[in-house]
Amino acid sequence: MGAPVHGALLLFLLLLAGPAAAEDAAPQEPTLPAAGAGAGSGGGAAVGVNSNSVLVALLDSHYTELAELVEKALLLQTLEDAVGRHNVTIFAPRNEALERDLDPEFKRFLLEPRNLKSLQALLLYHVLPARLPSDSWPAASHPTLSGEEVELAAAAAGADGAAGMRVGHAAVTRPDAVLRPDGVIHGIERLLVPRSVQEDFNRRRSLAAISAVLPTGAPEVDPRTHRLKKPAPPVPPGAPPVLPIWDAMAPGPSIAPAPAPGPSSGKHHFDGHSQVKDFIQTLLLYGGYNELADILVNLTSLATEMGRLVSEGYVLTVLAPNDEAMARLTTDQLSEPGSPENILYYHMIPEYQTEESMYNAVRRFGKVRYDTLRLPHKVVAREADGSVKFGQGEGSAYLFDPDIYTDGRISVQGIDAVLFPPGDKNATQTADPHRKPPAITTHKKIKLRRGKLLEASCQMADLFGQRLRFVSCQD
């Protein structure tokens, strides 16, 4: 029985050592992870990148500007996943193309936090999901990781007989600059800009390039009627009066605004779109109201609607919440369809009001209700701490920056909170609980009354000729 047992044990040991010996005998070649690698165990865990990866070579190469942009764009994990799924080809612009040759305005646009998507799309436009060395360079368009296609072409042979390579409008200056098993890096002469990023930049620049801040020769406004003043024609000396005596003695026009032409009347008496652009540019240059300007132009079409209303003869007063108030809005308040429009409609009054006219009204009547474009809701204004206060309770707002823009048709008054109609389900406190009321302006100064003891002291000082030396005794 000993011989069969010994033979069976020897056969078992040979079977265990066979696969290991075969692996030692076979030559080792670099293998790349398959498209589904990493998904077999661990429920789809991400594939790690080894030290010989093309992504590691990019971060350690002399293309430091591109590597820095990749880190700023938060694309390291995305590129790691791409390298784990397939080979890649990276087009790396030289550092000078990103430092000195790039338009400063375009570079500033890419580095703004709100344009992160554009920066990511631009960088992914430089990465192809395939390994394309110079010896297998195709002459056709190829998809990129950004979703857009880039044109690859082979230029005519140069003086040295070597054929050139082009990608888009850029020449490949250093083909096969970095070669790795999972990818290749080609050095190019300039940055590649996809069409989507160029369109985003043009949209931003069209808003920033709006010319005038305040229209030159802005019309004068009659403070009594809040209407435009028409310049009177010059009257030669000795000429009869322009108006008959009875017309001159008649009372002035009513404070109520004249009826304006209705929508779709086809009559455009004013250039409303230019005035809206001027007031939005004024918000940007004034500072602290960028969020409101962004919502008017990019998030909604309210800027176009306001321009149409002003062109048809309407006047508007905009209660503009500052950036601190807009930052306190929650995502739920802005996520519902039509929520940004409804919020801003409640801040638009179809009247022309200045800070002085509103303050005089609340001082005289105590509480004033103004119609808004969010029918049938009205905004309530009252006098508080020498200023105008809108709303009620914790959702109230002070008139914080008076007369930011006034041109006779559009008036913009800055407030420090976002207003909501009473009973609105989205109403929350958007005002700073530790805020202080704005300082009292010159036309609101209140003369303080002196006490009897101080008045007697001032009279005694007056007897000795020392009254003017005391500030408290000066009227």
Please report, rounded to a whole number, the percentage of residues in the chain having pLDDT higher than 70.
66
- Please give the mean pLDDT across all residues of the chain: 75
Question: Where does residue 85 rank: exposed (0-12), middle (13-18), buried (19+ CB within 10 A)?
Answer: middle
Q: Which CATH number is associated with domain 52-203? A: 2.30.180.10
Beta-carbon count within 10 A of 360 CB:
16
What Cα–Cα distance (Å) separates residue 244 from each residue in 231, 249, 348?
19, 9, 41
pLDDT digits (tens, 9 = 90+) for 273-324: 888 888 888 888 888 898 888 888 887 888 888 888 888 888 999 999 999 9
Q: What is the pLDDT of residues 84-121, one digit of tens each?
A: 888 899 999 988 888 777 888 888 888 888 889 999 99
Matching fold, domains 52-203 and 270-413: yes
Q: Is 84 exposed, middle or buried (0-12, 13-18, 19+ CB in 10 A)?
A: buried
Task: Give residue-wise pLDDT tens across range 172-190.
Answer: 999 999 998 889 999 999 8
State if pTM tops 0.75: no
Domain ranges of the chain: 52-203, 270-413
Give the pLDDT score at 448: 40
Q: Which fold has domain 270-413?
A: FAS1 domain (2.30.180)
First to last CA, the chain: 130
